[in-house]
Amino acid sequence: MAGGETGKKAWVINGLFNDGQNSNLPVQEFKIGANGDYCDGKASASCYLRILADSEDKFWEGAEKEKDNQLWLYVSVTNQKVTTSTTVKKNRAIELVINDEGSADPEQKAIEQVCLGYIGYTEDSDGYTCNSFETSSTTVATCASGELPSEKGKDHSAPWSSSKGCLVVVTEDDPMNNDCGYFGADDSEVVDTLVPNKITKIKTNFIEVDGGGGDAHNALAYQWSSSPDFGSQLCKSDWWYQCDQSAENQMVVLGEVRYRCEKTRWVKMD
């Protein structure tokens, strides 16, 4: 262990019962500054490493004698290379859907979908619409390029460049007048699976693109969460990094700050 964290078991030796018995141990390699210990992810840090040898049965030697089975070492870690795991899924866009005419009436809501690519609406008879829920229509929002921002852009929307942030598409969907728009979230914005929060770190201001009612921007007043199926979403360098079950214990590094994926949530490490 290092820095107070529980370490991994190195060896198990059976048949040693009496004092004075010896056993040759195979060489065991340990990584310091990895796997969640105190030095993990720090380019330069110092840790205490504890080596403990003790019986696994319930017999206890007493507080003083227990201490004679351990050795503490001071370890210095320098020039550690910190990288982001390649197994974490990245999404280009997420979609928020509200039904909120006029002044904002904030609620706590879950995001509608996440997309590996862009989110777009296909054209209807008037060339453009904002219908996210009309599943029988050809104007459903899908994880594909369409009328909303994409690499090349189209009609109402300019190309979404790498400098605009993590794309968030918004639909204000109701029977009267549907509106939609989009904005770019900035680095370190998190949409959590447990605690709903407003999206406040904004890199590219909200842009209304259709409907005329100007109601889609009300989504900025809402508190948003993600479902465990989607996993928490962390914005980094114009991508939403997804913490789901497949990314358990993986890490994303933002400057000097580290985020670890724990039970579908991004947890900021000290």
d(CA 170, CA 217): 8
d(CA 208, CA 77): 50
Q: Give the pLDDT of residue 161.
A: 79
Instruction: pLDDT tens for the chain, 270 residues: list them.
Output: 334 444 555 566 666 555 666 666 666 666 666 655 656 656 566 676 777 776 666 555 555 555 567 777 777 767 666 555 567 999 999 999 998 888 899 999 999 989 888 877 655 544 456 655 444 444 455 676 666 776 665 655 667 877 899 999 998 877 666 788 899 999 999 999 999 999 999 999 998 876 666 788 999 999 999 999 899 999 999 999 999 999 988 889 898 888 989 999 999 986
Per-residue pLDDT tens digits for 84-126: 556 799 999 999 999 888 889 999 999 998 988 887 765 554 4
Q: Give the pLDDT of residue 16.
A: 58
Instruction: Please list, in sequence order, all residues whose beta carbon lies within 8 angstroms of the beta carbon of residue 95, skipping any fewer than 6 positions away.
Output: 111, 112, 113, 114, 115, 119, 132, 141, 168, 169, 170, 171
And the tokens for 203?
Answer: 């890199």
Q: Give the pLDDT of residue 102.
A: 83
Instruction: Please list, in sequence order, all residues whose beta carbon lies within 8 angstroms of the beta carbon of residue 34, skipping any fewer than 6 positions away.
Output: 40
d(CA 198, CA 190): 10
Q: Which of 181, 182, 199 is nearest to 190 (CA)?
A: 199
d(CA 248, CA 91): 17
Q: Give the pLDDT of residue 2.
A: 39
